[in-house]
Structure 1
Amino acid sequence: MCGMKRRILSLICAAGFVTTVAACGSSDSGSSASDRVSYHAAFPEFASSDEMYATADSVVSGVVQPGSEVRELAPIVVDSNDPKLNPQAGTEATEEPGEPVVVTVHRVRITELHKGPGKVGDVIEVKQLGGTLGKTTYESQETTSLKAGTPYLLFLNTYPDAPASVLTPIQGQYTLDGQGAPQSLPNNKLKLTDADLKRLDRTNMQ
């Protein structure tokens, strides 16, 4: 339930769809407890791994490095729904001018490049909605935070002057097991096997 304040943020998600995020903040008056703000978002759902692979600008396997950074993005209004013209796609408010959006930016060292620019060994930035700034924690219920030291397979949209965004927080990231096989998040109905990934890589190279 929302507390003392409620704001509705309209976001352009990483896949180019328009989605609405409700951000609810509450605090305990007179207490020293930290404020908490919850982002609630609707993201596109891909019907197949082929569709998701084709949509992504970049597909990488990589290990999250220590030292994530929480950033506050100042919202701006864009005239285009094209995510290529909107470098903050996926985290940017187009309603309620002056209302910031908080993201956590992770550094990921590429161990295998499946699609897109870059090379093995490069370190890229990947942003996720939410983080803690000061005494306020911003949370996205749809997001599972990337963990330092953990290998992932990530389906990304990339931008010239901003961190990449995972296509969707549910379907766009997979942990990799000891054999390098992708493991879906518990609420991800789209399963992806190592054989699927190798097939998609071969198709992309043709």
Structure 2
Amino acid sequence: MEYEERNRKPKQGASNTPAVVLVILFAIVVLLLYAGWNLMSDDASNIVDMKSIDSDLVQVDEKPVEEEDEDIVEEVTLPEPEKKEEKKKEVTPVVEKPTTSYKGETSTYTVKAGETFFAIANKFNTSSDNLQALNPDVNPSLIKEGVTKLKVPVQAVHTVGPGDILRVVANKYGISVEALMAANGKKKNFAERGEKLLIPHKNKI
């Protein structure tokens, strides 16, 4: 009987071993499933975080671009201030007009072909300065034939009468016939009755 009881005990221990192994395996499977579930939830949360991070990055990247575009538009639309040019004050030089002490008679002389201001002054036995003083508004280098009229100094204006010839008129005023002809633009020793002759001064004035 004792022998039979001893032989039964080992059989009971052997029958309990598979149950223990199953429990352990089940526990391991549960742990693995739990660990896998945690890993999956972590991955899902990481994916959500990455998406949020990516969206933040996109928003961060977009804002500077918009600001740059606004800055560019402002630079294009804003006009540059116009620079006001300072008007320079023009200084007009004061030109002193020549003066003359001549107080005698004058007459009007029309410039003829080929004549210069200096030549006309010589015809009337005066200087260019005196002639310029009598004609302050005339530019000596711009006189024109048949257009420019000059005020010239004369002894007198003689009206040709009966029997007057140039020699007689010249002797009357103490000048040469040549001077009389030159002052009146004559090429021939002839004067018509009623003609007015300009008599130049016999001395330089």
Q: Name the TM tier (shorter chain).
A: under 0.3
Q: Tell me which structure has the larger Cα radius of gyration.
A: 2
Q: TM-score, normalised by structure 1?
A: 0.19
Higher relative strand content: 1
Higher relative contact order (CA 8 A, sep 6+): 1
